[in-house]
Amino acid sequence: MKITMLGTGAALPDPERGQTAILLSLESGRHYLFDCGEGATRQMVRANVNPAEVGLVFLTHLHHDHISDFPNFVISGWLLNRQGRPRVLGPRGTRRFVRHLFEDGAFDADFQARSSLQARRNNIDAVRPDVIEIAPGIVHEDDELRIIAAHVEHLPHHICECFGVRIEAEGKVVAFSGDTQPCAAMEELARGADLLIHECTFPETILAHRASQGMGHYGHTSPSELGELAARAGARSLVATHFGSFDTSSAVLKKAAAMHLPAELVGPHLLDEVAADIRRHYRGPLRLARDLMRIDL
Ligand SMILES: [Zn+2]
Ligand SMILES: [Zn+2]
């Protein structure tokens, strides 16, 4: 299988990183998308995959940096002649999110305009997603791939459930954390995985600064915590992702960060610190994600 890191950033618009999106492609030609943050659809085309050929989308949670490209993905698939309804798995609230997008939703004028054309009426199911709101356990199984989901700890569950996943296909296991602080459920999903793709939003020095300023709740995983979790889970290789623009060279983002961070706590040099802190605990193959990074398993 091939995994393409379509987007490796977090909440802010970042010229060097799209928002979270991971494409898993099987030898058979089937494609599965995990999260659909800003830029996901365009990155897919750059990675030589037609959005209309992605059969299943899994949304780990409903923060905007994991779903903001979803309407673009669905409408693009419609224009690119997708046949049948795209399948969407996600937490409670996914049905409401999708229901408010297309017919009678935010993009209703677009829907009405395009569906007046016979060609678009022919595949109108492409813009009527089949939504399944999942519960922990096996949430998808076909003849090639199985997805097991568990609750992870990122947002209060009454606001939004957040899921991590374990994906089994072609005799391999890939685990993906979504957004979470370190938790036993994610460690179980990652147990013995051939590849663990895990969020690692900020370096330790930024977290220490946040703590010294009394900046509220932090529902993410630090580099040291990630190294510990990957080692405990026995993950055979590790990709750290969901970087919160701390490595940016953008003048706009650096200026925004300067409101609450010393200048030396922003820049590409911090990736070395992230790698070193993960390495203190985890000795297996480690990669820090960048957009369009490709992993063959
Ligand atoms: Zn996020
Ligand atoms: Zn989030």
Place of tokens 């990709």: 239
Kindly report which listed range (123-127, 148-152, 208-212, 274-278) carries the lowest average pLDDT score.
208-212
Q: Which letter, b or e, does each residue of 49-66 get, where b requires 16 or more Cβ atoms within 10 Å of its Cβ? A: bebbebebbbbbbbbebb
- Report which bound ligand comes closest to the CA of 8: 1
pLDDT confidence of residue 16: 96
Instruction: Please tell me the distance between residue 258's alpha carbon and the centre of ligand 1 in angstroms.
Output: 21
For residue 29, report the distance from its CA to the centre of ligand 1, in Å.
Answer: 28
Between the CA of 159 and the centroid of ligand 2 the distance, in Å, is: 12
For 115, phi then psi, to 5°, come to -75, -5
Q: Integer distance in angstroms from the first to the last C-alpha of the chain? A: 5
- How far is the centre of ligand 2, averaged over its atoms, from the C-alpha of 124 (Å)? 32
Percent over 70 (pLDDT), the chain: 100
Write out pLDDT tens, residues 237-280.
Answer: 999 999 999 999 999 999 999 998 888 889 999 999 999 999 99
Q: Point out the ligand nearest to the CA of residue 61.
A: 2
pLDDT at 295 over 80: yes
What's the pLDDT tens digit per position in 27-56?
A: 999 999 999 999 999 999 999 999 999 999
163 burial class (0-12, 13-18, 19+ CB within 10 angstroms)? Answer: buried
For residue 264, the model assigns a pLDDT of 87
Query: What tokens does 103 get?
Result: 């017919």
CA torsion angle 65 62 173 272 (round to 10):
30
| Ligand in closest contact with the CA of 199 | 1
Instruction: Say what the pTM is.
Output: 0.97
- pLDDT given for residue 24 in this prediction: 98
